[in-house]
Amino acid sequence: MATGGEVGDLMASAERKAAVARVRSERESGHAELHEFRAGQAPTEVLRDVHLRIAEIHRSTAARHLTAAQLQDDYVSRLRDWSRTRNTPQPQFMSGVAAACGTSSAAVTLVGAARDQLGLAASDEPARAAQELEFLLGEGPARDATSEVRPVTAAGPALADRWPGYGPAVAELGIGAVAAVPLSLSGTCVGALAVFDPVQGVTDSDTFSEVAEALTRSMILSSDGDPGLYGATDLRAKVHQAAGMVSVHLDCPVTDALELIRAHAFAEGVLDHSVAERILRGELRLG
């Protein structure tokens, strides 16, 4: 459990990010006002339209920075409330992200250049379990959202129609609806934000994609952000350590070893993490 100092550091860092986001939002609003002024002065329709279009984009960016500031504010206030009693688990930044999307279960997946999953952060156990399934089965909403670079939603029977492996498995976790949006900025996609069982209508509204964009702008693709989401991003360290071991045991490339661990976990119906731990303890040898 974190000490007072660590929580203080987290709060200070989140407050700083909120302040930066507000400054950026104001700057964007300033640009928008300038173009709105020029639109008002424009002698022709074409000129007016050009300035209004530019103003609109600045307005929307200003709103995203404000959403980002609110996510940080929310994290600060959760930490502050918690630090008074400390009788519950320490609040995670992702819980606030989930709440902003109208659910308690949300997960961020970060992918590499080859769309390979590099890291993940989840707000709660169901979200973590659903992301694990996606990793094990190699199909699911976050994967589709990043490869197609567009929002993905499915609920009820459509889950199994869309993902024959993932659909039934995620339904078994008690999840009835999933949605994911790409985490992308200026045409660069670095992952996806997925939500599980959101309240009706949230994923059809703009809120979901606005939160994703705010998250990308302020935390993931920002020179003063924190892609580790305040220490919550899990790189599956143990799974990769185990893959290194298996690659020696079987004299195979480490990528093949990863696949073997994944297949073994799926066949046994357990998480790859627990397979990895058994390998690391010397209780299990694949091959």
Partner 1 sequence: MSTMPPSQQRLAQAFVDLAASQVTEPSDPTGLLAALAAHGTELLGDCVTVVLYAPDDSVGPDVAGTGKELLHLARSAATWGEGPGSEARRTGVPVPDTALDGERARRDWPRYAARAVELGYGRAAALPLHVGDDTLGALVLLGPGGTPLPPELLTLGQSLTDAAGWNLERDRRLRETRALADQLGQALTSRIVIEQAKGTLAARHSITVDEAFRILRSHARSHRRRITEVAQEVVERRLDLQTD
Task: Give contact residues for partner 1 (rule: CB under 8 A).
Answer: 27, 35, 38, 41-47, 50-51, 54, 110, 112-113, 118-119, 185-188, 190, 220-223, 227, 235-238, 240-249, 254, 280
Element (H, E) at 155: strand 152-155
Beta-bridge mates of residue 155: 177
CB of 113 to partner 1, least distance (A): 6
CB of 273 to partner 1, least distance (A): 13
CB of 286 to partner 1, least distance (A): 12
CB of 248 to partner 1, least distance (A): 4
Comparing CB distances to partner 1, the nearer of 159 and 219 is 219
Q: How many CB atoms lie within 10 A of CB 282?
A: 8
Comparing CB distances to partner 1, the nearer of 73 and 234 is 234
CB of 214 to partner 1, least distance (A): 15
CB of 19 to partner 1, least distance (A): 17
CB of 9 to partner 1, least distance (A): 20
Question: Cα separation of 18 and 244, whole Å?
Answer: 40
Comparing CB distances to partner 1, the nearer of 167 and 182 is 182
Dihedral pair phi/psi, residue 120, rounded to 5°: -150, 155
Q: How many CB atoms lie within 10 A of CB 232?
A: 18
Comparing CB distances to partner 1, the nearer of 103 and 131 is 131
Question: Cα separation of 95 and 157, whole Å?
Answer: 28
Q: Which of 125, 90, 89 is nearest to 107 (CA)?
A: 125
- 34, exposed or middle or buried, with CB in 10 Å at 0-12, 13-18, 19+? middle
Question: Cα separation of 32 and 90, whole Å?
Answer: 39
Comparing CB distances to partner 1, the nearer of 112 and 164 is 112
Comparing CB distances to partner 1, the nearer of 139 and 277 is 277
Dihedral pair phi/psi, residue 127, rounded to 5°: -65, -40
Kindly give the residue spans of alpha helices, DSSP state H, lying in the chain.
Answer: 4-41, 45-85, 93-100, 125-137, 141-148, 157-162, 166-172, 207-215, 237-249, 254-268, 272-280
Angle at 188 between CA 62 and CA 113, to 5 degrees: 150
Comparing CB distances to partner 1, the nearer of 2 and 50 is 50
